[in-house]
Amino acid sequence: MSNNDLFDVFQRMPKKVNIGDITIRDGLQHEEHFIPTRAKLFYLQELAFAGVKRMEVTNLGNPRNMPQFEDAETLLKGVHSDVFKKRLAKRGMKHEDIEWTCITIRESAVDRAIEMKKEGYGPDRILMMVSTDEQHHFANSGSTLPAYWKEAERCIKKCHDAGIKMCGTVSTIWGSPISGPTRFEDAVEFTSRWLSIGADDIEHADHDGSAPPNKVYRYFSMILDALPNPDLHIAHFHVTRGWGNANVLAALQAGITNFEATLGGTGGQPANFVDGVPGLGTGSYYYKDPNVVGLSVLEDMVVMMDEMGIDTGLNVDRILELGEMMERTIGRRLRSESILNGRIPKEVREDFKRPALPKTKEKNGEKPGQLIPSEWPEKADVPAEILQKK
């Protein structure tokens, strides 16, 4: 008999994972109206109370390009406030157990993060990013790849001296919206480059929903063959084409233990239009309808993993509540199916039982719990010719 246990078939597949939330940065960067600062701070703090240990707070780049992040300093001060620390302590949680990340694409933003750290409210971790497609990389950073690698090396040293971790992102792994197909071998090499210059971990980004599940499994298998410490690797998926949780499953099967997601599957290319004001973002949108793009849905991811018996360490019911709230904050229906349909019931639901069933079975001469006609054999006998492949 074949083995049909997924965890036995895929020996690297974990029973425990870490899920980072990136709603307030990556999720909201795509919104074309400014989300109130108080709302952003509410979600950052409430996600922490729900058990999330790694969160992206903001982008420290020039807010002229992305005005959604003009409140970066206020948010960082808010998540480091004494009041928030006391609220965590009341719940038996430690502020130092939560890692706060900021995006710092260029060195000026890195320097800003370091100054904030010196002032006592800076990030614990920052993120710089490269694309294996240099055209895409240049569109995001305005830098060539060789020049950027040197910049990143300088920044990593400065960050480590200041007590800040560096995450290196590798993007366009499964293809580029500008240049088309890309090579996995380049992404594996770029991952090694990041680690060789001192990056603390790597975000592997399907930045636009280009990755089908079979290629996700292949790529992450290649990564873990080359660099087998799973703590180094984070899976980041978009759901532009609806493959989000299918890709999460493929990454799990390959052995990935760290994932990122957003409430409602929000996120995508930085908005180039905010509160009626045209801006830069990263230029023209790559898709006809910018509202259809987004990231892996946090609510659906945690419900799926809970059903699979994978420990996320998160309060699933609270995550679902926050997903409902986020729809009201943003003002539209988002991508989560789980906030509509909830978790799969684990107990009998007496209010949905049909009281006529026992009487109908008794009238038919059937015993309680009888599921097949009494004159039928106990086991079904399927004709052999049906089982033969034509």
- From the CB of residue 390, how many other CB atoms can be counted at a distance below 10 Å? 3
Overall average pLDDT of the 109-127 stretch: 98
Q: Taking a C-beta distance cutoff of 8 angstroms, is the pair 17, 53 a contact?
A: no
**Structure confidence at residue 358 (pLDDT):** 95
pLDDT at 1: 58
- pLDDT tens-digit series, residues 307-348: 999 999 999 999 999 999 999 999 999 999 999 999 998 899
List of E strands, the chain: 18-21, 54-59, 99-103, 125-131, 165-171, 201-206, 233-237, 258-261, 273-274, 277-278
Mean pLDDT of the chain: 95
DSSP labels, 34-95: PPPHHHHHHHHHHHHHTT--EEEEEE-S-TTT-GGGTTHHHHHHHHT-HHHHHHHHHTT--G
Per-residue pLDDT reduced to its tens digit, 245-296: 999 999 999 999 999 999 999 998 888 788 888 877 777 777 766 667 789 9
Residues in the chain: 390
CA distance linking residue 349 with residue 338, whole number of Å: 19
Cβ contact 176:144 at 8 Å: no
pLDDT tens digits for 7-41? 999 999 999 999 999 999 999 999 999 999 999 99
pLDDT of residue 64: 85
pLDDT of residue 72: 98
Tell me where in the chain the CATH 3.20.20.70 domain(s) lie.
16-341
Task: Please state the rounded mean pLDDT for residues 171-184.
Answer: 95
CA 196 to chain centroid, in Å, comes to: 25
3-state secondary structure of 277: strand
Task: Name which residue leads in pLDDT, 270 or 99.
Answer: 99
Give the Cα separation of 291 and 306 in Å (integer): 29
- Tell me if 203 sits within 8 A of 54, measured CB to CB: no
Q: What is the CA radius of gyration of the chain?
A: 24
Mean pLDDT across 191-207: 97
How much is the pLDDT for 97?
98
pLDDT value for 200: 98
CATH 3.20.20.140 at 16-341, yes or no = no
Relative to beta strand 258-261, strand 273-274 is unpaired
Q: How far apart are CA 352 and CA 108, in angstroms?
A: 60
Q: 273-274 and 277-278: which strand pairing?
A: antiparallel
What pLDDT is recorded for position 140?
87
pLDDT digits (tens, 9 = 90+) for 121-162: 999 999 999 999 999 999 989 999 999 999 999 999 999 999
CA 58 – CA 293 distance, rounded (Å):
20
Q: Over pLDDT 70: what percentage of the chain? A: 98
Residue 180: strand pairing partners: 176
For residues 209-224, give the mean pLDDT: 97
Q: Using DSSP, state whether 296 is helix, strand or coil.
A: coil
